[in-house]
């Protein structure tokens, strides 16, 4: 057998030495050639190129400016946030021929990023919004940030214009690193475009007057925060310098759409209003968002504060100051910090059934006292994770009152926004709840109209939304974790889910209400073994990912990868026939060979999922009837001789 270290050297998987060597060779040869081709196309294009950079505000400035210039032709640019060297190179090689203006956001962060981008872009107009200490781990000082932002000014074409924030000395210094004409904007008196009479505050929108040498122009913008005067004024100045009539520029700004995740308004029908400022959280601009909440007119205000980035020094002081400012600006606060210490604290307590994880508990305030008689609630989809939570937290006299399960909740996050799947799951959960003698509450937690991100990335958000929607009905919420904490840390591209659940879901806890992660001290294989012993699972278990298929004869198809994985383990443990009412066993038997192949691919292929490898090892140790071509891989996954299966918890 080839030694493990040798296999790693000859592997072509991501992160292997061979892949790393090819990547380094590509960066030294192919990438410079591509950048040179992009620079040549730009040089002979005859179009107007505008580059926007700055520590903050560049995405919004780019969006507004592109909207204004659409009136004078066709303004084009990469998608929001696509501001790296590779993104700009692709934009310059692939922009549409009909475009008259290219407005491109230029970011920093990697080695000489702005120098490479500026050499390709060669902007006719460069915009520098501000210089702040972002990307602290890379730049370390404001002077280094200013030097990097100045690369865009250096790359400006002869006869071009550099538009800079005149209130920011560092930005002005960066803009002077060129012979191009310098144009300033800001709040001060000695600028070319001055913003005055600024007013903003939800439900109202931003309004301001921009004074120029040619007159004063009243501008209405769709933003709710006062600090958006900066990108509005910067875009106005750049548009006028590009030849747009000031009156037309002001009119176009009024029709500009909000920028998603940049303090945009999301109003839920018959529900709360969210001001989403979730694109990033640099310490220097955090308090501007708090000011926006403070100026809003609303019967109640709540701030959810996540992880803070880009600061120097002790993080405890930064979080303490941020919390104090958030508390002054709102009526209620929730802290969801993802500090390593918080995750470690959670990891150390997940296997203690009644241990409450306290994260920032001292910083919370609530007036009402806890009502332990409400008991506990948990989500119930009748999947492996929720049935495990049900089995481990029974309603018995030995259980502390606040932890007894008294309520089941079904939300549609597992239905992936498929109506038929949701109906089937909910009907199945109702039958389960009736048999358990517990009430079931249905919550529609499909946030797809409001959250523009893949399902795997907003899993926690949707679960938390369902919890908070009915928070008055329980004292303790048992959140069924999808992975064990140790497994989540090293499971490839899905590595964040388990860690986030362990570190952040308990942080929703207050004095009145406790949120805890349940079951993530067990692996998926252990949970599956526990669920197999439950009589309720034999009638109601639902793991199928094809719930939206109208042709399903039973709750589970028996052939998808989740069904097949469960049935392979059930067959090895002699319990396959017990699940004949809920699974299409004929379909499973017909596709058994493919199920084994898929298990191997997931265990040793690009995905390298921990659960699949754990399952393969477990099946080999159990002495499962594996095909001959699978057995060597089973032994490799197990890493030792066959042995008796580990003891597992007993279901109620």
- For residue 201, the number of C-alpha atoms closer than 13 Å in the C-beta half-sphere is 8
Name the region of 112 (left: φ>0; alpha: ψ -120 to 50; beta: rest): left
What integer pLDDT is reported at residue 432 of this predicted model?
Answer: 92
Structure tokens at 217: 């122009």
The stretch 268-288 carries a mean pLDDT of 79
The stretch 569-588 carries a mean pLDDT of 90
Produce one character per residue of 60-91: b if its CB has 16 or more CB atoms within 10 Å, e if not: bbbbbbbbbbeebeebbbbebeebbbebbbeb
Which of 31-45, 306-320, 445-459 ranks highest by mean pLDDT? 31-45
Which of 92-101, 228-237, 516-525, 616-625 ranks highest by mean pLDDT? 228-237
State the fold for domain 45-254.
3.40.1190
What integer pLDDT is reported at residue 98 of this predicted model?
Answer: 83
Structure tokens at 258: 């909000």
Q: Measuring CA to CA, which residue among 605, 594, 548 is closest to residue 568?
A: 594
CB distance 485 to 347 below 8 Å: yes
When mean pLDDT is compared across 35-39, 105-109, 274-278, 483-487, the lowest value belongs to 483-487
DSSP state of 556: B
Q: How far apart are CA 187 and CA 371, in angstroms?
A: 52
Q: How far apart are CA 227 and CA 349, in angstroms?
A: 42
First-residue to last-residue Cα distance in the chain: 45
Rg (CA), the chain: 29
The stretch 364-370 carries a mean pLDDT of 48
Q: What's the pLDDT tens digit per position in 192-219?
A: 999 999 999 889 999 999 998 889 999 9
Instruction: Report the CATH superfamily, name and number, of domain 366-521.
Output: HUPs (3.40.50.620)
What integer pLDDT is reported at residue 644 of this predicted model?
Answer: 40
Q: How far apart are CA 247 and CA 233, in angstroms?
A: 13
CB distance 393 to 378 below 8 Å: yes
Q: What's the pLDDT tens digit per position in 84-115?
A: 777 888 888 888 888 888 888 888 766 677 77
Structure tokens at 407: 């309520």
- Please say if the pLDDT value at position 548 is more than 50: yes
Please state the separation of Cα 68 from the chain's center in Å.
30
CB distance 569 to 618 below 8 Å: yes
Q: How far apart are CA 377 and CA 379, in angstroms?
A: 7
Q: Measuring CA to CA, which residue among 423, 500, 424, 491 is closest to residue 458?
A: 500
What integer pLDDT is reported at residue 248 of this predicted model?
Answer: 92
Residue partners of 142: CB distance under 8 A and separation at least 6: 131, 132, 133, 170
- Please say if the pLDDT value at position 598 is more than 80: yes
CB distance 602 to 589 below 8 Å: no
- Please say if the pLDDT value at position 158 is more than 80: yes
What integer pLDDT is reported at residue 461 of this predicted model?
Answer: 67
Q: Among all chains, which residue has been given the structure tokens 């405890």?
A: 316
CB distance 553 to 585 below 8 Å: no
When mean pLDDT is compared across 271-275, 464-468, 575-579, 604-608, the lowest value belongs to 604-608
């Amino acid at each position: 057998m080839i030694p493990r270290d040798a296999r790693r050297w000859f592997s072509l998987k991501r992160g292997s030495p061979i892949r790393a060597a090819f990547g380094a060779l590509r960066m030294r040869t192919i990438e410079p050639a591509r950048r040179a081709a992009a620079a040549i196309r730009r040089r002979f294009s005859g179009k107007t190129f505008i580059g926007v950079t700055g520590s903050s505000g560049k995405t919004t400035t780019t969006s507004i400016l592109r909207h204004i210039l659409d009136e004078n032709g066709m303004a084009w640019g990469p998608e929001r946030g696509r501001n790296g060297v590779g993104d700009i190179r692709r934009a310059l090689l692939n922009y549409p021929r009909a475009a008259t203006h290219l407005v491109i956001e230029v970011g920093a962060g990697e080695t000489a990023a702005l120098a490479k981008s500026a050499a390709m872009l060669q902007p006719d107009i460069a915009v520098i919004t501000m210089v702040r200490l972002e990307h602290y781990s890379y730049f370390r000082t404001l002077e280094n940030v200013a030097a990097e932002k100045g690369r865009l000014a250096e790359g400006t074409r002869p006869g071009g214009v550099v538009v800079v924030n005149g209130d920011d000395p560092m930005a002005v210094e960066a803009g002077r690193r060129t012979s191009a004409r310098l144009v300033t904007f800001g709040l001060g008196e000695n600028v070319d475009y001055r913003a005055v009479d600024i007013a903003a505050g939800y439900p109202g929108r931003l309004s301001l007057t921009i004074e120029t040498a040619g007159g004063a122009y009243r501008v209405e913008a769709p933003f709710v925060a006062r600090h958006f005067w900066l990108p509005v004024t910067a875009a106005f100045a750049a548009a006028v310098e590009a030849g747009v009539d000031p009156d037309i520029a002001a009119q176009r700004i009024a029709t500009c759409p909000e920028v998603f995740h940049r303090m945009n308004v999301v109003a839920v029908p018959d529900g709360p209003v969210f001001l989403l400022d979730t694109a990033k959280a640099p310490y220097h601009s955090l308090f501007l968002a708090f000011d926006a909440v403070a100026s809003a007119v609303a019967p109640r205000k709540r701030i959810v504060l996540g992880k803070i980035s880009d600061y120097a020094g002790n993080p405890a002081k930064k979080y303490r100051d941020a919390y104090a400012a958030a508390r002054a600006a709102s009526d209620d606060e929730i802290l969801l910090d993802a500090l390593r210490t918080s995750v470690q604290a959670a990891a150390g307590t997940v296997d203690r059934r009644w241990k409450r994880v306290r994260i920032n508990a001292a910083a919370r305030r609530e007036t009402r006292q806890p009502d332990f008689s409400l008991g506990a609630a948990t989500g119930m989809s009748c999947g492996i994770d929720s049935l495990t939570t049900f089995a481990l937290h029974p309603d018995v006299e030995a259980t502390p009152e606040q932890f007894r399960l008294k309520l089941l909740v079904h939300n549609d996050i597992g239905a992936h926004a498929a109506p038929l799947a949701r109906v089937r799951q909910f009907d199945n959960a109702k039958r389960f709840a009736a048999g358990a003698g517990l009430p079931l509450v249905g919550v529609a937690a499909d946030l797809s109209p409001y959250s523009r991100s893949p399902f795997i990335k907003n899993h926690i958000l949707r679960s938390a939304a369902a919890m908070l929607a009915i928070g008055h009905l329980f004292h303790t919420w048992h959140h069924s974790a999808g992975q064990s904490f140790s497994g989540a840390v090293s499971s490839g591209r899905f590595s964040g889910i388990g860690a986030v659940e362990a570190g952040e879901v308990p942080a929703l806890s207050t004095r009145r209400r406790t949120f805890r992660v349940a079951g993530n001290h067990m692996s998926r294989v252990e949970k599956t073994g526990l669920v197999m012993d439950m009589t309720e699972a034999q009638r109601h278990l639902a793991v199928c990912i094809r719930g939206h298929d109208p042709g399903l004869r039973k709750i589970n198809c028996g052939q998808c990868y989740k069904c097949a994985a469960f049935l392979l383990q059930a067959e090895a443990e002699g319990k396959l026939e017990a699940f004949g009412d809920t699974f299409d066993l004929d379909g499973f038997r017909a596709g058994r060979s493919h199920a084994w192949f898929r298990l191997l691919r997931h265990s040793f292929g690009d995905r390298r999922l921990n659960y699949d490898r754990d399952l393969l090892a477990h099946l080999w140790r159990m002495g499962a009837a594996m095909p001959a071509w699978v057995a060597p891989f089973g032994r490799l996954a197990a890493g030792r001789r066959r042995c008796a299966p580990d003891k597992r918890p007993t279901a109620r």
